[in-house]
Amino acid sequence: MSSSTKSTANALTMPRHVAIIMDGNGRWAKLKGKLRTFGHKAGVEAVRASVRYARENNIQALTLFAFSSENWKRPEEEVGVLMDLFTLVLKSEVKRLNKNGVRLQVVGDTARFGDKLVSLINKAEKLTEHNSELVLNIAANYGGRWDIVNACQQLAAKVKQGELSAQDIDETLFDQHTSLHGLPEVDLLIRTGGDHRISNFLLWQMAYAELFFSSELWPDFDEHVFHQAVLDFSSRQRRFGLTGEQIESEEVAPC
């Protein structure tokens, strides 16, 4: 990121937690006369740029939607390339992440992945578990509905075992059983590729997220586009159910 962009970012209200739907790899490749898989490989540099921007600007958590639970329906060859790419990136990037103080977490139903990939995920998470510069969540075989159902199943099991009663369950307890428990709620969702939907991503965690849709295809996403999303986020008044007047009165109230 340029020094001028970084100085501007320092003056903004930064989101604590940013989530990104990385869309447009296939269309980017098609525009260049390449196979869809070429676009997925090209998108790795956009991931690096996103992590770099988040870390340099003190964003606490960055969650990237890498592979949804619905993506298994894609052509077998493309799914295979995505799994191979995930494995390759884990091998090549984890040392860099660790060196830069990034904690890596993979969230989703990883039971469907092969033993080799699961082993790599566990090793990467173990290596980086004490890092605190940035929490990087990779959502793989993830769906927002799955996350909610999974939390419900955990709580139901505890009720059945007598560890708690149904009346004990509130939003705080429920949140503790979701994939991103312990992290701030998502402040900003960015989706590239021009579509305006959230595609079953972080349905619980995005209750009050600000949404930013970019026409840029994912391989073209860089720190400049990320910064434009943050600029837009910083200009919005977040009311959380209050009126604009209430928010403004709190802002000007003496300490």
Specify the pLDDT at position 62.
98
Specify the pLDDT at position 10.
54
Is residue 100 among the annotated active site residues? Answer: no
Specify the pLDDT at position 48.
95
Task: Considering the candidates 23, 137, 147, 187, report the single residue annotated as catalytic.
Answer: 23
Specify the pLDDT at position 24.
95
Is residue 58 among the annotated active site residues? Answer: no
Q: Find, among 112, 104, 168, the residue nearest to 143 by Cα.
A: 112
37 domain residue, yes or no: yes
113 domain residue, yes or no: yes
174 domain residue, yes or no: no
Specify the pLDDT at position 74.
86
CATH number of the domain that 105 lies in? 3.40.1180.10
Stated pTM of the model: 0.89
Specify the pLDDT at position 255.
44
244 domain residue, yes or no: no
217 domain residue, yes or no: yes
pLDDT along the chain (255 residues), means of 10: 52 92 95 92 94 97 93 86 87 94 96 91 96 96 96 98 96 98 97 97 97 97 97 86 68 53
79 domain residue, yes or no: yes
- What contacts 58, CB < 8 A, 6 or more positions away? 14
User: Which range marks the domain in which residue 100 is found?
Assistant: 13-145+186-235
167 domain residue, yes or no: no
1 domain residue, yes or no: no
Q: Find, among 133, 138, 137, 139, the residue nearest to 59 by Cα.
A: 133
How many domains are there within the chain?
1
Task: Considering the candidates 10, 57, 71, 141, report the single residue annotated as catalytic.
Answer: 71
Specify the pLDDT at position 75.
86
Q: Read out DSSP for the chain?
A: --HHHHHHHHTS---SEEEEE---HHHHHHHTT--HHHHHHHTHHHHHHHHHHHHHTT-SEEEEEEEETTGGGS-HHHHHHHHHHHHHHHHHHHHHHHHTTEEEEEES-GGGS-HHHHHHHHHHHHHHTT--SEEEEEEEEE-HHHHHHHHHHHHHHHHHTTSS-GGG--HHHHHTTSTTTTSPPP-EEEE-SS----TT-STTTTTT-EEEE--S-GGG--HHHHHHHHHHHHHSPP-TTS-HHHHHHHHHS--
